Structure 1
Protein backbone atom coordinates (compact mmCIF):
# COMPACT_ATOMS: atom_id res chain seq x y z
CA UNK A 1 0.00 0.00 0.00
CA UNK A 2 1.36 3.44 -0.89
CA UNK A 3 1.31 6.21 1.67
CA UNK A 4 -0.91 9.21 1.01
CA UNK A 5 1.01 12.29 0.00
CA UNK A 6 1.21 15.16 2.45
CA UNK A 7 -0.20 18.51 1.25
CA UNK A 8 3.29 19.92 0.67
CA UNK A 9 4.40 16.84 -1.29
CA UNK A 10 1.21 16.88 -3.33
CA UNK A 11 1.81 20.54 -4.14
CA UNK A 12 5.31 19.71 -5.35
CA UNK A 13 4.15 16.71 -7.33
CA UNK A 14 1.39 18.50 -9.24
CA UNK A 15 3.72 21.41 -10.07
CA UNK A 16 6.32 18.95 -11.36
CA UNK A 17 3.73 17.01 -13.36
CA UNK A 18 2.43 20.17 -15.02
CA UNK A 19 5.92 21.40 -15.89
CA UNK A 20 6.94 18.02 -17.26
CA UNK A 21 4.10 18.31 -19.79
CA UNK A 22 5.92 21.28 -21.34
CA UNK A 23 8.91 19.13 -22.31
CA UNK A 24 8.75 17.98 -25.92
CA UNK A 25 10.47 15.36 -28.01
CA UNK A 26 14.13 16.10 -28.74
CA UNK A 27 14.48 18.90 -26.22
CA UNK A 28 17.67 19.66 -24.32
CA UNK A 29 16.50 20.20 -20.77
CA UNK A 30 18.29 21.68 -17.79
CA UNK A 31 17.41 19.64 -14.71
CA UNK A 32 17.35 21.49 -11.42
CA UNK A 33 18.46 20.43 -7.96
CA UNK A 34 16.48 20.03 -4.76
CA UNK A 35 13.41 18.28 -3.43
CA UNK A 36 10.94 19.87 -5.85
CA UNK A 37 13.18 19.34 -8.89
CA UNK A 38 13.49 15.67 -7.94
CA UNK A 39 9.75 15.24 -8.54
CA UNK A 40 10.23 16.65 -12.03
CA UNK A 41 13.12 14.32 -12.83
CA UNK A 42 11.05 11.34 -11.70
CA UNK A 43 8.10 12.42 -13.84
CA UNK A 44 10.31 12.93 -16.91
CA UNK A 45 11.71 9.46 -16.29
CA UNK A 46 8.13 8.13 -16.37
CA UNK A 47 7.58 9.83 -19.73
CA UNK A 48 10.86 8.47 -21.11
CA UNK A 49 9.81 4.95 -20.12
CA UNK A 50 6.10 5.06 -20.93
CA UNK A 51 5.98 7.44 -23.91
CA UNK A 52 9.42 6.78 -25.40
CA UNK A 53 10.17 10.48 -24.93
CA UNK A 54 13.68 11.23 -26.13
CA UNK A 55 15.38 14.16 -24.45
CA UNK A 56 18.85 15.12 -23.28
CA UNK A 57 19.11 16.21 -19.67
CA UNK A 58 21.75 18.60 -18.36
CA UNK A 59 21.87 18.21 -14.56
CA UNK A 60 22.81 21.02 -12.21
CA UNK A 61 24.42 18.78 -9.59
CA UNK A 62 25.91 15.33 -9.13
CA UNK A 63 22.82 14.33 -7.14
CA UNK A 64 20.48 15.28 -9.99
CA UNK A 65 22.72 13.53 -12.52
CA UNK A 66 22.55 10.32 -10.49
CA UNK A 67 18.76 10.47 -10.19
CA UNK A 68 18.32 11.26 -13.89
CA UNK A 69 20.39 8.23 -14.89
CA UNK A 70 18.46 6.04 -12.47
CA UNK A 71 15.13 6.93 -14.11
CA UNK A 72 16.42 6.51 -17.65
CA UNK A 73 17.07 10.07 -18.81
CA UNK A 74 20.03 10.53 -21.13
CA UNK A 75 22.49 12.77 -19.28
CA UNK A 76 24.92 15.06 -21.11
CA UNK A 77 27.09 17.95 -20.03
CA UNK A 78 26.27 21.56 -20.82
CA UNK A 79 29.27 21.70 -23.15
CA UNK A 80 27.94 18.68 -25.03
CA UNK A 81 24.41 20.04 -25.24
CA UNK A 82 25.33 23.60 -26.15
CA UNK A 83 22.30 25.86 -25.80
CA UNK A 84 19.25 24.44 -24.00
CA UNK A 85 15.57 24.62 -24.87
CA UNK A 86 14.43 24.92 -21.26
CA UNK A 87 15.61 24.62 -17.68
CA UNK A 88 13.13 23.53 -15.03
CA UNK A 89 14.13 24.05 -11.42
CA UNK A 90 12.76 24.82 -7.99
CA UNK A 91 13.25 27.96 -5.93
CA UNK A 92 13.55 28.81 -2.26
CA UNK A 93 11.62 32.05 -2.79
CA UNK A 94 10.08 33.95 -5.69
CA UNK A 95 8.42 37.35 -5.86
CA UNK A 96 5.81 38.93 -8.13
CA UNK A 97 8.39 39.74 -10.80
CA UNK A 98 9.70 36.16 -10.77
CA UNK A 99 12.96 37.14 -9.13
CA UNK A 100 14.28 34.19 -7.16
CA UNK A 101 16.40 33.12 -4.25
CA UNK A 102 18.05 29.77 -4.97
CA UNK A 103 20.86 27.79 -3.43
CA UNK A 104 19.27 25.97 -0.53
CA UNK A 105 20.66 22.79 -2.06
CA UNK A 106 24.14 24.34 -2.49
CA UNK A 107 23.97 24.08 -6.31
CA UNK A 108 23.35 27.74 -7.15
CA UNK A 109 26.43 28.17 -9.35
CA UNK A 110 25.65 25.36 -11.75
CA UNK A 111 21.93 26.18 -11.56
CA UNK A 112 22.52 29.77 -12.65
CA UNK A 113 24.91 28.79 -15.45
CA UNK A 114 22.47 26.22 -16.84
CA UNK A 115 19.44 28.50 -16.48
CA UNK A 116 21.09 31.37 -18.35
CA UNK A 117 22.12 28.99 -21.13
CA UNK A 118 18.46 28.22 -21.87
CA UNK A 119 15.77 29.69 -24.09
CA UNK A 120 13.53 29.80 -21.03
CA UNK A 121 13.58 28.95 -17.34
CA UNK A 122 10.54 27.46 -15.66
CA UNK A 123 10.36 27.39 -11.87
CA UNK A 124 8.27 24.79 -10.07
CA UNK A 125 7.29 25.53 -6.49
CA UNK A 126 4.67 25.04 -3.84
CA UNK A 127 2.56 28.07 -3.00
CA UNK A 128 4.49 28.72 0.21
CA UNK A 129 7.54 29.83 -1.78
CA UNK A 130 5.84 33.01 -3.02
CA UNK A 131 6.75 36.17 -1.08
CA UNK A 132 6.07 39.89 -1.38
CA UNK A 133 9.76 40.68 -0.88
CA UNK A 134 12.74 38.35 -1.08
CA UNK A 135 14.96 37.77 1.92
CA UNK A 136 13.18 35.74 4.58
CA UNK A 137 15.03 32.71 3.23
CA UNK A 138 18.79 33.16 3.87
CA UNK A 139 20.54 34.22 0.67
CA UNK A 140 23.26 31.73 -0.30
CA UNK A 141 26.56 33.05 -1.61
CA UNK A 142 29.17 30.65 -2.98
CA UNK A 143 32.72 31.61 -1.99
CA UNK A 144 36.12 30.03 -2.50
CA UNK A 145 37.57 28.39 0.62
CA UNK A 146 40.74 30.51 0.62
CA UNK A 147 40.20 33.54 2.84
CA UNK A 148 36.50 32.86 3.29
CA UNK A 149 36.46 34.69 6.63
CA UNK A 150 37.82 37.80 4.96
CA UNK A 151 35.21 37.43 2.25
CA UNK A 152 32.52 37.18 4.93
CA UNK A 153 33.78 40.35 6.60
CA UNK A 154 33.70 42.21 3.28
CA UNK A 155 30.16 40.98 2.63
CA UNK A 156 28.92 42.09 6.04
CA UNK A 157 30.50 45.52 5.56
CA UNK A 158 28.76 45.78 2.20
CA UNK A 159 25.43 44.80 3.70
CA UNK A 160 25.63 47.77 6.06
CA UNK A 161 25.20 49.98 2.98
CA UNK A 162 22.39 47.95 1.37
CA UNK A 163 18.61 48.13 1.72
CA UNK A 164 18.32 45.01 3.89
CA UNK A 165 17.10 44.39 7.42
CA UNK A 166 19.83 41.96 8.52
CA UNK A 167 23.57 41.95 7.91
CA UNK A 168 24.96 38.70 9.33
CA UNK A 169 26.55 35.93 7.27
CA UNK A 170 27.14 32.38 8.50
CA UNK A 171 29.17 29.56 7.02
CA UNK A 172 26.93 26.65 6.04
CA UNK A 173 27.97 23.47 7.78
CA UNK A 174 27.55 19.78 7.00
CA UNK A 175 27.74 18.21 10.45
CA UNK A 176 31.12 19.33 11.81
CA UNK A 177 32.64 20.42 8.49
CA UNK A 178 31.82 23.25 6.07
CA UNK A 179 29.47 22.38 3.24
CA UNK A 180 31.43 21.79 0.04
CA UNK A 181 29.75 22.45 -3.32
CA UNK A 182 30.26 20.37 -6.46
CA UNK A 183 32.85 22.97 -7.48
CA UNK A 184 34.76 22.61 -4.20
CA UNK A 185 33.59 25.90 -2.70
CA UNK A 186 31.84 26.96 0.53
CA UNK A 187 28.43 28.57 1.07
CA UNK A 188 27.80 31.68 3.15
CA UNK A 189 24.16 32.20 4.10
CA UNK A 190 23.18 35.86 4.42
CA UNK A 191 20.43 36.48 6.97
CA UNK A 192 18.85 39.58 5.44
CA UNK A 193 15.17 39.18 6.42
CA UNK A 194 14.13 41.51 3.61
CA UNK A 195 15.92 42.64 0.42
CA UNK A 196 14.78 46.06 -0.75
CA UNK A 197 16.71 46.09 -4.05
CA UNK A 198 17.54 42.55 -5.22
CA UNK A 199 18.99 43.69 -8.54
CA UNK A 200 21.50 46.03 -6.92
CA UNK A 201 22.50 43.48 -4.29
CA UNK A 202 23.06 40.77 -6.89
CA UNK A 203 25.42 43.02 -8.83
CA UNK A 204 27.53 44.30 -5.95
CA UNK A 205 27.92 40.95 -4.18
CA UNK A 206 29.71 39.48 -7.20
CA UNK A 207 32.25 42.31 -7.11
CA UNK A 208 33.65 41.15 -3.77
CA UNK A 209 36.90 39.17 -4.08
CA UNK A 210 36.30 35.55 -3.13
CA UNK A 211 32.64 35.55 -4.13
CA UNK A 212 31.97 33.09 -6.96
CA UNK A 213 28.22 33.61 -7.34
CA UNK A 214 25.13 34.58 -5.35
CA UNK A 215 21.70 33.00 -5.16
CA UNK A 216 19.70 35.94 -6.52
CA UNK A 217 18.26 35.02 -9.92
CA UNK A 218 17.19 38.29 -11.53
CA UNK A 219 15.50 38.46 -14.97
CA UNK A 220 16.20 34.76 -15.53
CA UNK A 221 12.89 33.05 -14.77
CA UNK A 222 10.20 33.20 -17.48
CA UNK A 223 7.42 31.07 -15.99
CA UNK A 224 6.48 29.67 -12.60
CA UNK A 225 4.29 26.64 -11.96
CA UNK A 226 2.75 26.86 -8.50
CA UNK A 227 1.35 23.73 -6.91
CA UNK A 228 -1.21 23.60 -4.10
CA UNK A 229 -1.93 20.89 -1.59
CA UNK A 230 -5.42 20.30 -2.97
CA UNK A 231 -4.14 19.56 -6.49
CA UNK A 232 -4.61 23.02 -7.98
CA UNK A 233 -1.88 24.25 -10.32
CA UNK A 234 -1.25 27.81 -11.44
CA UNK A 235 0.99 28.65 -14.40
CA UNK A 236 2.19 32.25 -14.58
CA UNK A 237 3.96 33.48 -17.69
CA UNK A 238 5.84 36.67 -16.83
CA UNK A 239 6.58 37.61 -20.44
CA UNK A 240 2.99 37.35 -21.70
CA UNK A 241 1.34 38.30 -18.43
CA UNK A 242 -1.01 35.31 -18.64
CA UNK A 243 -2.17 33.02 -15.84
CA UNK A 244 -3.50 29.49 -16.40
CA UNK A 245 -5.33 27.50 -13.72
CA UNK A 246 -5.70 23.73 -13.64
CA UNK A 247 -6.33 20.89 -11.22
CA UNK A 248 -4.67 17.48 -11.31
CA UNK A 249 -6.51 14.43 -10.03
CA UNK A 250 -5.75 11.92 -7.31
CA UNK A 251 -4.06 9.54 -9.75
CA UNK A 252 -0.94 11.71 -9.55
CA UNK A 253 -0.59 10.91 -5.84
CA UNK A 254 0.01 7.27 -6.70
CA UNK A 255 2.45 8.21 -9.44
CA UNK A 256 4.75 10.02 -7.02
CA UNK A 257 4.07 8.34 -3.68
CA UNK A 258 7.26 6.27 -3.78
CA UNK A 259 9.50 9.36 -3.90
CA UNK A 260 11.23 10.10 -0.60
CA UNK A 261 12.01 13.78 -0.02
Structure 2
Protein backbone atom coordinates (compact mmCIF):
# COMPACT_ATOMS: atom_id res chain seq x y z
CA UNK A 1 0.00 0.00 0.00
CA UNK A 2 1.49 3.37 -1.03
CA UNK A 3 2.02 6.24 1.41
CA UNK A 4 -0.70 8.23 -0.40
CA UNK A 5 -3.18 5.38 0.00
CA UNK A 6 -2.24 5.08 3.65
CA UNK A 7 -2.93 8.79 4.19
CA UNK A 8 -6.33 8.56 2.49
CA UNK A 9 -7.32 5.54 4.59
CA UNK A 10 -6.12 7.25 7.75
CA UNK A 11 -8.17 10.35 6.91
CA UNK A 12 -11.26 8.23 6.35
CA UNK A 13 -10.79 6.50 9.69
CA UNK A 14 -10.19 9.75 11.57
CA UNK A 15 -13.33 11.48 10.26
CA UNK A 16 -15.51 8.39 10.77
CA UNK A 17 -14.34 7.92 14.35
CA UNK A 18 -14.85 11.65 15.06
CA UNK A 19 -18.37 11.56 13.62
CA UNK A 20 -19.34 8.64 15.87
CA UNK A 21 -17.58 9.95 18.98
CA UNK A 22 -19.07 13.45 18.70
CA UNK A 23 -22.62 12.59 17.70
CA UNK A 24 -23.69 9.19 19.01
CA UNK A 25 -25.63 9.91 22.21
CA UNK A 26 -26.94 7.65 25.01
CA UNK A 27 -30.53 8.14 23.82
CA UNK A 28 -29.72 6.96 20.28
CA UNK A 29 -31.00 3.41 19.83
CA UNK A 30 -31.70 3.12 16.08
CA UNK A 31 -28.69 3.86 13.85
CA UNK A 32 -28.55 4.02 10.06
CA UNK A 33 -25.36 2.57 8.57
CA UNK A 34 -24.61 3.60 5.00
CA UNK A 35 -22.25 2.19 2.42
CA UNK A 36 -18.88 3.14 1.04
CA UNK A 37 -15.24 2.93 2.04
CA UNK A 38 -15.43 5.57 4.81
CA UNK A 39 -18.49 4.05 6.49
CA UNK A 40 -16.44 0.89 7.07
CA UNK A 41 -14.80 2.84 9.89
CA UNK A 42 -18.14 4.09 11.25
CA UNK A 43 -19.29 0.50 11.73
CA UNK A 44 -15.88 -0.41 13.16
CA UNK A 45 -16.09 2.38 15.74
CA UNK A 46 -19.64 1.53 16.81
CA UNK A 47 -18.57 -2.11 17.06
CA UNK A 48 -15.91 -1.10 19.60
CA UNK A 49 -18.42 0.42 22.01
CA UNK A 50 -19.17 -1.47 25.23
CA UNK A 51 -22.91 -0.79 24.82
CA UNK A 52 -23.11 -1.82 21.16
CA UNK A 53 -25.79 -4.39 22.00
CA UNK A 54 -28.13 -1.48 22.83
CA UNK A 55 -28.26 -0.37 19.20
CA UNK A 56 -30.32 -1.60 16.28
CA UNK A 57 -28.52 -0.83 13.01
CA UNK A 58 -30.39 -0.25 9.75
CA UNK A 59 -28.43 -0.98 6.54
CA UNK A 60 -28.70 0.83 3.21
CA UNK A 61 -27.80 -2.19 1.13
CA UNK A 62 -25.90 -5.46 0.98
CA UNK A 63 -22.49 -3.97 1.81
CA UNK A 64 -23.70 -2.12 4.90
CA UNK A 65 -25.62 -5.20 6.03
CA UNK A 66 -22.35 -7.11 5.95
CA UNK A 67 -20.60 -4.32 7.87
CA UNK A 68 -23.22 -4.56 10.61
CA UNK A 69 -22.89 -8.34 10.81
CA UNK A 70 -19.06 -8.31 10.66
CA UNK A 71 -18.89 -5.86 13.58
CA UNK A 72 -21.35 -7.97 15.61
CA UNK A 73 -23.95 -5.25 15.70
CA UNK A 74 -27.69 -5.90 15.90
CA UNK A 75 -29.26 -5.87 12.44
CA UNK A 76 -32.70 -4.33 11.90
CA UNK A 77 -34.90 -3.09 9.08
CA UNK A 78 -36.87 0.01 8.19
CA UNK A 79 -40.11 -1.97 8.31
CA UNK A 80 -39.78 -2.42 12.08
CA UNK A 81 -37.86 0.82 12.69
CA UNK A 82 -39.28 3.57 10.47
CA UNK A 83 -37.81 6.31 12.66
CA UNK A 84 -34.00 6.35 12.87
CA UNK A 85 -32.26 8.38 15.58
CA UNK A 86 -29.07 9.04 13.62
CA UNK A 87 -27.60 7.87 10.32
CA UNK A 88 -24.04 7.92 8.98
CA UNK A 89 -23.18 7.61 5.31
CA UNK A 90 -20.52 8.52 2.79
CA UNK A 91 -20.83 10.65 -0.34
CA UNK A 92 -19.41 10.79 -3.84
CA UNK A 93 -19.26 14.60 -3.63
CA UNK A 94 -20.34 17.39 -1.26
CA UNK A 95 -21.04 21.05 -2.02
CA UNK A 96 -20.90 24.20 0.10
CA UNK A 97 -24.51 23.70 1.31
CA UNK A 98 -23.89 20.03 2.22
CA UNK A 99 -25.92 18.87 -0.75
CA UNK A 100 -24.41 15.60 -1.92
CA UNK A 101 -24.16 13.23 -4.85
CA UNK A 102 -24.59 9.58 -3.90
CA UNK A 103 -25.21 6.42 -5.86
CA UNK A 104 -21.78 5.58 -7.23
CA UNK A 105 -22.30 2.17 -5.67
CA UNK A 106 -25.90 1.94 -6.99
CA UNK A 107 -27.48 1.98 -3.48
CA UNK A 108 -28.96 5.47 -3.74
CA UNK A 109 -32.63 4.56 -3.14
CA UNK A 110 -31.96 2.59 0.04
CA UNK A 111 -29.44 5.22 1.16
CA UNK A 112 -31.97 8.02 0.68
CA UNK A 113 -34.69 6.05 2.47
CA UNK A 114 -32.46 5.67 5.52
CA UNK A 115 -31.28 9.30 5.41
CA UNK A 116 -34.84 10.58 5.07
CA UNK A 117 -35.99 8.41 7.99
CA UNK A 118 -33.23 9.74 10.26
CA UNK A 119 -33.68 12.59 12.73
CA UNK A 120 -30.03 13.43 12.09
CA UNK A 121 -28.02 12.57 8.99
CA UNK A 122 -24.23 12.86 9.02
CA UNK A 123 -21.87 12.49 6.06
CA UNK A 124 -18.34 11.12 6.45
CA UNK A 125 -15.85 11.48 3.61
CA UNK A 126 -12.25 12.22 2.78
CA UNK A 127 -11.30 15.67 1.49
CA UNK A 128 -11.31 14.61 -2.18
CA UNK A 129 -15.12 14.55 -1.98
CA UNK A 130 -15.40 18.07 -0.52
CA UNK A 131 -15.22 20.12 -3.73
CA UNK A 132 -17.74 22.86 -2.88
CA UNK A 133 -19.78 22.37 -6.06
CA UNK A 134 -21.45 19.20 -7.35
CA UNK A 135 -20.00 17.96 -10.61
CA UNK A 136 -16.63 19.62 -10.07
CA UNK A 137 -14.78 16.52 -8.92
CA UNK A 138 -17.38 13.80 -9.58
CA UNK A 139 -17.53 13.56 -13.38
CA UNK A 140 -19.39 10.25 -13.73
CA UNK A 141 -22.80 11.93 -13.76
CA UNK A 142 -25.72 12.05 -11.37
CA UNK A 143 -26.90 8.49 -10.63
CA UNK A 144 -30.61 8.11 -11.31
CA UNK A 145 -32.51 4.90 -10.54
CA UNK A 146 -35.13 4.12 -13.19
CA UNK A 147 -37.51 1.28 -13.89
CA UNK A 148 -36.01 -0.89 -16.66
CA UNK A 149 -38.55 -0.33 -19.45
CA UNK A 150 -38.34 3.48 -19.02
CA UNK A 151 -34.58 3.91 -19.46
CA UNK A 152 -34.67 5.10 -23.11
CA UNK A 153 -37.51 7.52 -22.37
CA UNK A 154 -35.65 8.91 -19.36
CA UNK A 155 -32.39 9.26 -21.29
CA UNK A 156 -34.17 11.32 -23.96
CA UNK A 157 -35.81 13.54 -21.36
CA UNK A 158 -32.55 14.06 -19.45
CA UNK A 159 -30.71 14.98 -22.64
CA UNK A 160 -33.47 17.46 -23.50
CA UNK A 161 -32.77 19.45 -20.31
CA UNK A 162 -29.04 19.67 -20.93
CA UNK A 163 -27.77 16.37 -19.59
CA UNK A 164 -25.55 13.73 -21.12
CA UNK A 165 -27.15 10.46 -20.00
CA UNK A 166 -26.28 6.80 -20.38
CA UNK A 167 -27.26 3.52 -18.75
CA UNK A 168 -24.65 2.25 -16.31
CA UNK A 169 -23.01 -0.93 -17.51
CA UNK A 170 -22.64 -3.94 -15.27
CA UNK A 171 -19.32 -4.89 -16.89
CA UNK A 172 -16.96 -6.51 -16.16
CA UNK A 173 -18.90 -8.49 -13.55
CA UNK A 174 -22.15 -8.62 -15.53
CA UNK A 175 -23.00 -8.28 -19.19
CA UNK A 176 -25.68 -5.65 -19.76
CA UNK A 177 -26.89 -2.90 -17.42
CA UNK A 178 -26.02 -2.70 -13.73
CA UNK A 179 -29.00 -3.82 -11.64
CA UNK A 180 -29.82 -2.24 -8.28
CA UNK A 181 -30.90 -4.14 -5.16
CA UNK A 182 -34.44 -3.15 -6.18
CA UNK A 183 -34.21 -4.67 -9.67
CA UNK A 184 -33.91 -1.32 -11.46
CA UNK A 185 -31.39 0.28 -13.84
CA UNK A 186 -29.06 3.18 -13.09
CA UNK A 187 -28.81 6.03 -15.59
CA UNK A 188 -25.80 8.28 -15.01
CA UNK A 189 -26.36 11.82 -16.31
CA UNK A 190 -23.63 14.44 -16.54
CA UNK A 191 -24.89 18.02 -16.16
CA UNK A 192 -21.43 19.51 -15.65
CA UNK A 193 -21.02 21.62 -12.53
CA UNK A 194 -24.29 22.30 -10.70
CA UNK A 195 -24.19 25.35 -8.37
CA UNK A 196 -25.72 24.83 -4.91
CA UNK A 197 -28.50 27.29 -5.78
CA UNK A 198 -29.62 25.09 -8.71
CA UNK A 199 -29.42 21.62 -7.18
CA UNK A 200 -32.94 21.55 -5.74
CA UNK A 201 -34.58 22.74 -8.96
CA UNK A 202 -32.71 20.22 -11.12
CA UNK A 203 -33.50 17.41 -8.68
CA UNK A 204 -37.22 18.23 -8.84
CA UNK A 205 -37.20 18.27 -12.65
CA UNK A 206 -35.67 14.80 -12.75
CA UNK A 207 -38.00 13.43 -10.07
CA UNK A 208 -41.04 14.52 -12.09
CA UNK A 209 -40.04 12.31 -15.03
CA UNK A 210 -42.33 9.27 -15.06
CA UNK A 211 -40.19 6.17 -14.69
CA UNK A 212 -37.63 7.77 -12.38
CA UNK A 213 -37.56 5.99 -9.02
CA UNK A 214 -35.03 8.24 -7.25
CA UNK A 215 -32.07 10.53 -7.90
CA UNK A 216 -28.59 10.61 -6.42
CA UNK A 217 -29.01 14.25 -5.40
CA UNK A 218 -29.24 14.43 -1.60
CA UNK A 219 -30.64 17.93 -1.21
CA UNK A 220 -30.40 19.60 2.22
CA UNK A 221 -30.55 16.22 3.96
CA UNK A 222 -27.28 16.31 5.93
CA UNK A 223 -26.90 18.36 9.11
CA UNK A 224 -23.14 17.81 9.36
CA UNK A 225 -20.23 16.47 7.35
CA UNK A 226 -16.97 15.18 8.79
CA UNK A 227 -14.14 15.54 6.29
CA UNK A 228 -10.89 13.66 6.78
CA UNK A 229 -7.94 15.68 5.49
CA UNK A 230 -4.71 14.20 4.16
CA UNK A 231 -2.69 16.04 6.83
CA UNK A 232 -4.44 14.09 9.58
CA UNK A 233 -6.92 16.77 10.62
CA UNK A 234 -10.70 16.53 10.52
CA UNK A 235 -12.89 19.37 9.23
CA UNK A 236 -16.47 19.56 10.50
CA UNK A 237 -19.03 21.27 8.28
CA UNK A 238 -22.57 22.06 9.40
CA UNK A 239 -25.66 23.87 8.13
TM-score of the superposition, structure 1-length normalised?
0.82
> RMSD across aligned C-alpha pairs, in angstroms?
1.7
Larger Rg: 1
- Residues 38-96 of structure 1: per-residue CA shift (max 9 Å, x gap): 2211221222xxx2322110000022112211211101001211211111101111111
1:107 equivalenced with 2:107 (yes/no): yes
Q: Secondary structure at the match of 1:140?
A: strand
Choose from 168, 173, 180 the match for 1:172.
168
Question: Secondary structure of 2:48's match?
Answer: helix
Structure 1 stretches of at least 4 aligned residues deviating more than 4 Å after TM superposition? 2-5
The 5 A counterparts of 1:86-97 are 86-97=86-97
Structure 1 position 3, deviation (Å) = 9.2
User: Which structure 2 residues correspond to residues 1-261 of structure 1 after superposition, within 5 A?
Assistant: 6-21=6-21, 22-25=23-26, 26-47=28-49, 51-53=50-52, 54-136=54-136, 137=138, 138-157=141-160, 159-160=161-162, 167-175=163-171, 176-196=175-195, 197-238=198-239
Q: Give the count of matched residue pairs.
A: 227
Contact 2:124 2:226 in 1 (8 A): yes
TM-score for both structures, normalised by structure 2? 0.90
Q: Which runs of 5+ in 1 are unaligned?
A: 161-166, 239-261
